[in-house]
């Protein structure tokens, strides 16, 4: 039975290196196209499903990191804005800051033109307040953009997981149906 189903090819185009799952409308045509038996196909699909799940876990970890990073950048921007507001006034700023996890210290900040920003990898650099604002705004924009892309990638992965799960169910159900047909035709002889 020939079909012009939407199961066009095994290697459908994907998103950012993630292969797209193929929706299988006609299982027999799909099996003929890929040249595998039912058990090999189910094994392949289960492996692909596990790969999707691994990618999803990595993307979720990246999403959590970005979602934690964005508020930190926003807090830094607020601190620099406060420093710029108080610039020129004789009023010092009293600030509590975290020295290390769970350890805080109090600082008295006099009129300042610069701030030190922690860049990561044991690197801290001093910037003028204006440069710090520019850098932080750029970092915030990049983080928000990356988060949007990541959310789209996660949605794509979830769609691929769903399509693969449906395909596994369809192949399995088709196989059960074929076995029953063979049993019925075998018992009628």
pLDDT digits (tens, 9 = 90+) for 114-130: 999 988 888 999 999 99
Find the range with the poorest average confidence among 41-55, 76-90, 154-168: 76-90
Q: Residue 55: which residues within 8 A CB-CB, separation 6 or more?
A: 18, 157
Q: How far apart are CA 99 and CA 126, in angstroms?
A: 18
The pLDDT of 53-76, averaged and rounded, is: 96
Residue 93: enclosing H or E segment and its boundaries?
Answer: strand 93-100
Q: How far apart are CA 170 and CA 25, in angstroms?
A: 9
In terms of Cα–Cα distance, which of 20, 9, 8 is closest to 162?
A: 20
Task: Say what the pLDDT of residue 10 is.
Answer: 40
Q: Which CATH architecture has domain 29-182?
A: Orthogonal Bundle (1.10)
**What does residue 73 show for φ and ψ, rounded to 5 degrees?**
-65, -40
Average confidence score pLDDT of the chain? 89
* pLDDT exceeds cutoff 90 at 186: no
Q: What CA–CA distance (Å, rounded) separates 141 from 146? A: 9
> Which residues fall within 8 angstroms of residue 106, CB to CB, at 6 or more apart?
94, 95, 96
Q: Strand 123-128 vs strand 114-120: parallel, antiparallel, or unpaired? A: antiparallel
Residue 106: is its pLDDT beyond 60?
Answer: yes
pLDDT of residue 12: 56
Residue with tokens 């029953």: 180
Over residues 133-148, the mean pLDDT reads 97
**5 pLDDT tier (thresholds 50, 70, 90):** very low
159 three-class SS: helix
CB 26 within 8 A of CB 3: yes
pTM, to two decimals? 0.76
> Mean pLDDT throughout 26-31?
93
């Amino acid at each position: 039975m020939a079909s012009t189903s939407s199961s066009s090819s095994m290697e459908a185009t994907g998103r950012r290196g993630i292969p797209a799952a193929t929706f299988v409308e006609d299982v027999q045509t799909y099996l003929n196209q890929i040249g595998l038996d039912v058990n090999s196909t189910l094994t392949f699909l289960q492996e692909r499903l596990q790969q999707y799940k691994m990618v999803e876990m990595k993307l979720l970890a990246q999403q959590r990191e970005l979602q934690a990073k964005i508020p930190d950048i926003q807090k830094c921007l607020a601190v620099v804005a406060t420093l710029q507001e108080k610039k020129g006034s004789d009023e010092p700023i009293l600030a509590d800051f975290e020295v290390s996890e769970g350890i805080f210290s109090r600082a008295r900040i006099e009129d300042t033109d610069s701030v030190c920003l922690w860049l990561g990898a044991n690197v801290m650099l001093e910037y003028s307040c204006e440069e710090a604002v520019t850098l932080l705004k750029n970092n915030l924009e990049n983080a928000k953009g990356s988060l949007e892309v990541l959310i789209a990638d996660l949605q794509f992965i979830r769609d691929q997981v769903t399509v693969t799960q449906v395909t596994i169910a369809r192949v399995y159900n088709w196989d059960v149906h074929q076995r029953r047909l063979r049993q019925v035709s075998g018992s009628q002889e």
